[in-house]
C-alpha cells in the first residue's frame, strides 16, 4: 500500500525511459487498485505489462469492497498476484483460498503469479520444503498441472521480505529447484518451462547473483521497485 497518483505516474515514466533500450526480460508493474487505470494509460506503447496485487474469487455480485478478475482485465491487467505472504499472514488467506483465487485469475483471462514461501520460524524448524510443497499441492489439487503452462510461481521467503535480509543465491536455488521438481513430477515439460521468480529483498546489488542461478527466472520485486532507476537496474540484471 505505497505511493500516490503522482508517484505512480513518475515511476512508470522513469521506468519506461530507463528501459527504452531494453532489456529483453519481460517487465510488469502491479500498482494498487486505485491507480490501475492511470497506470494502464501510462504504459501504452512501452511493452511493460500491468498486473494487480490481488483479486476476488467471485466473478461478480454483491461483494462490496472486492475487485473481480474481469474488472482487472477490463482495465488492462495481464497479471494478478495471488497468495502474497502479506495476504496469507495479515488477512488469513488459506492455501485453499489462494488456490481458488489462482483459478479465478485464469477463469477471468489473467495470468496468476502464485506466491509460496516459508516464515522465519518455519525455516528455523527445517520445514521449508514441507510448507512450499503444501502450498503448491493446494493449487495442483484444485487447478491441475496443466494450469501451470499459463502461470508464474514466485518463491517468497517471508523472513526476507522488507527485512533487508535476502536468501543467498544458493538458498533461493534450492527452493526453486524444489518447486520445479514438484511440478515436473506431474508434467516434465510444464515443470521445466514454468517461470519461477524470487521475491525477498531483491536489490540492484544482489539481483545479478540471484538471477544467475539455473532455476531463478527473475524477481518479484518489492520495495526496490519504488525507485525507477533501481528497478530498471534489476530488470537489466534479468535481461
Give the pLDDT score at 23. 62
Average pLDDT of the segment spanning 124-128: 95
Q: Number of C-alpha atoms within 13 angstroms, CB side, residue 235?
A: 23
Task: Tell me which residues are annotated as active site.
Answer: 84, 156
pLDDT in tens, 28-55: 999 999 999 999 999 999 999 999 999 9
Better-scored residue on pLDDT, 154 or 224: 154
Return d(Cα 226, Cα 222) in angstroms, integer: 8
Given pLDDT bands bounded at 50, 70 and 90, which one contains residue 16? very high
Radius of gyration of the chain (CA): 17
- Residue 83: pLDDT above 90? yes
Return d(Cα 2, Cα 125) in angstroms, integer: 33
Enter the pTM of the model: 0.95
Amino acid at each position: 500500500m505505497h505511493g500516490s497518483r503522482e508517484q505512480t505516474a513518475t515511476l512508470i515514466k522513469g521506468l519506461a525511459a530507463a528501459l527504452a533500450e531494453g532489456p529483453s526480460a519481460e517487465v510488469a508493474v502491479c500498482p494498487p487498485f486505485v491507480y490501475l487505470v492511470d497506470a494502464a494509460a501510462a504504459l501504452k506503447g512501452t511493452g511493460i505489462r500491468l498486473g494487480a496485487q490481488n483479486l476476488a474469487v467471485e466473478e461478480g455480485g454483491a461483494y462490496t469492497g472486492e475487485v473481480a478478475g474481469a474488472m482487472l482485465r477490463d482495465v488492462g491487467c495481464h497479471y494478478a498476484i495471488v497468495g502474497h505472504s502479506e495476504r496469507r499472514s495479515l488477512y488469513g488467506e488459506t492455501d485453499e483460498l489462494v488456490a481458488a483465487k489462482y483459478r479465478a485469475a485464469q477463469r477471468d483471462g489473467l495470468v496468476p503469479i502464485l506466491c509460496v514461501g516459508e516464515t522465519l520460524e518455519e525455516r528455523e524448524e527445517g520445514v521449508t520444503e514441507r510448507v512450499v510443497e503444501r502450498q503448491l499441492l493446494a493449487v495442483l489439487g484444485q487447478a491441475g498441472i496443466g494450469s501451470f503452462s499459463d502461470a508464474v510461481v514466485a518463491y517468497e521467503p517471508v523472513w526476507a521480505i522488507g527485512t533487508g535480509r535476502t536468501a543467498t543465491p544458493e538458498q533461493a536455488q534450492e527452493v526453486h529447484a524444489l518447486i520445479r521438481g514438484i511440478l515436473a513430477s506431474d508434467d516434465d515439460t510444464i515443470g521445466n518451462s514454468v517461470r519461477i521468480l524470487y521475491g525477498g529483498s531483491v536489490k540492484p546489488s544482489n539481483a545479478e547473483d540471484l538471477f544467475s542461478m539455473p532455476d531463478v527466472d527473475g524477481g518479484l520485486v518489492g520495495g526496490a521497485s519504488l525507485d525507477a532507476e533501481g528497478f530498471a537496474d534489476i530488470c537489466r540484471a534479468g535481461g
